[in-house]
Chain A
Amino acid sequence: MDYIIQGFWEAIQLLLSFDKEIFGIILLTLYITIMSTFIATIIAVPLGILTGIKKFRFKKTLIRFLYTFMSMPPVIAGLFVYLILARRGPLGELELLFTPTAMIIAQVCLVAPIIMGITYNSTREKGQSIKQVAHTLGADKRQALALLLFELKADILAAIVSGFGRAISEVGAVMLVGGNIKGHTRVMTTSIAMLQSMGDYSQAIAIGLVLLALSFIINSILYHGQKVV
């Protein structure tokens, strides 16, 4: 029991002393997750909206794949990107493996289906009535799209925040393609996993606390955003 209390105590001290290594890890984590969420958003929100309002062939099949990818285990996304970026892989020449860029790519694969799936679902639910209202009131295509985005903004925000939450909390993908290299690709989740196995609980707890705080902030944004927007 003592080692937990002591771990907590040392964790607080580490955070208050602005330990350089810990803050480096936090900053890298934020950089990677924000970049991957941003790129995934740019790809997935338009695709989700299009899938929600358009009819096309093989739509049902696409949706089935989408739902599968939404719940894809992170290690699978990691393995997939690893195989592609590995030295012998199709994109091996780029030498991206074990870099933050590789971690961003893996997280985009993981997060984009989540953002697209949530956006698709709310568009399918409300898109038709929004489009009809826009049309009956005389909106042109651009104005109808603007109304659609305005009406779906709370849902899109929820999708983005869910994606971000997934990116910041997963270990498997970033571990496989990043390799948890100190000062280079070590992020919060991978360092907790490592510290725990080394028995260095105070650092693990410190990072864990920050991760929890970030989760709390994300959820607050989600909660508020849905009321305010």
Chain B
Amino acid sequence: MNITLNHITKKYGDKTVLNIEQFDIKAGIVTGIIGPNGSGKSTLMKIIAGLDNEYTGALLIEGQKINNEIYKAMTLVFQKPYLINTDVYNNIAYPLKLRNIAADEIKSKTEKMIELLQLQEIMHQNARTLSGGEMQKVALARAIVFEPKLLLLDEPTSNIDPQTMQLMENAIRYINHINHTTVVLVTHNIRQLHRVCSQAVFMQEGKVAEQGSVSEILAKVNEDYTGDFLEQELSTKIK
């Protein structure tokens, strides 16, 4: 699903937190969004997901305003996901149950996700008792189990160990590949940007400051904007 944003502004009181002139997200690819804290990334994701309607401007998905069909075909994963007070298996099966899918198909699709993200050992554990990283894995599994056409990910792999990160990135690539899912990924991890994204956006103070291929963006960000931003990233890696 391609996304078109036109003159999107979002204010909290007098403070403008989002001010996007014109911005397109191409269908079928993984687009990365980077930018400093408070630059409006999460705000933008919530607006695209239809969770926040208090903005001005036009948001079009596949050339249309969000309608029920589009709404059912997209999802957003938060950095701190809310899991339902039931076991991991039923959390993952939940979106399928909402769609009146046949029981055996629910079972096979859920099991496929459990395998893909290696959740076998915790599949019968209550989701509320999971560690932070496990929760993020379950939230990702729950988001891709129904094969959405648009997948919005807001820092889905913060606090994730390197191996699990690989697992999750594979899952993101997998759904993008087999389902042509359009993915928008907010991350502070430059290496992740390299590994999974083909296009990138740099946000600053509520604006889309740069967009282009990942290497173009990184080159520009390095020169024009905060060299700090990359240095910080590198220094945390070295630690």
Contacts and interface: CB of A to CB of B under 8 A. Distances in A.
Interface of A: 129-130, 132-133, 135-140, 143, 147, 150-151
Interface residues on B, range: 20 to 34
Nearest to B81: A133
Nearest to A229: B85
Nearest to B68: A140
A135 B50 contact: yes
Nearest to B86: A150
Interface string B58-95: 00000000000001110111100110110000000011
A136 B70 CA distance: 11
B84 A133 contact: yes
A24 to B, nearest CB: 42
Contacts of A135: 49-51, 71
Contacts of A151: 84-85
Nearest to B72: A138
Given A129-B82, A132-B51, 13 more contacts: A130-B82, A132-B78, A132-B82, A133-B84, A135-B51, A137-B75, A137-B95, A137-B98, A137-B142, A137-B143, A138-B72, A138-B75, A139-B98
B146 interface: yes
A147 B84 contact: yes
A138 B146 contact: yes
A102 to B, nearest CB: 40
A133 B82 contact: yes
A139 B95 CA distance: 8
B47 to A, nearest CB: 13
Interface in B136-162: 142-143, 146
Contact of A137 (B50, B85, B94): B94
Those 7 A-B pairs whose CB atoms lie nearest each other, nearest first:
A137-B95, A129-B82, A138-B72, A136-B76, A133-B82, A136-B75, A139-B98
Contacts of A140: 98
B99 interface: yes
Contacts of B143: 136-137
A135 B73 CA distance: 11
A136 B99 contact: no
A139 B73 CA distance: 11
Contacts of B142: 137
B138 to A, nearest CB: 12
A85 to B, nearest CB: 43
Given A150-B84, A151-B84, A138 B51 contact: no
Contacts of A139: 98
A143 B68 CA distance: 14
Interface string B22-60: 000000000000000000000000000111000000000
A151 B127 CA distance: 13
A130 B85 CA distance: 11
A138 B82 contact: no
B71 A138 contact: yes
Contacts of A143: 98
Contacts of B81: 133
A150 B72 CA distance: 21
A187 to B, nearest CB: 37
Contacts of B71: 135, 138
22 contacts: A129-B82, A130-B82, A132-B51, A133-B81, A133-B82, A133-B84, A135-B49, A135-B71, A136-B49, A136-B51, A136-B76, A138-B71, A138-B72, A138-B73, A138-B98, A138-B99, A138-B146, A139-B98, A147-B84, A150-B84, A150-B85, A151-B84
A76 B99 CA distance: 51
A147 B142 CA distance: 15
A150 to B, nearest CB: 7
B72 to A, nearest CB: 4
Contacts of B75: 136-138
Contacts of A132: 51, 78, 82
B170 to A, nearest CB: 22
A147 B82 CA distance: 12
B151 to A, nearest CB: 10
Nearest to A146: B98
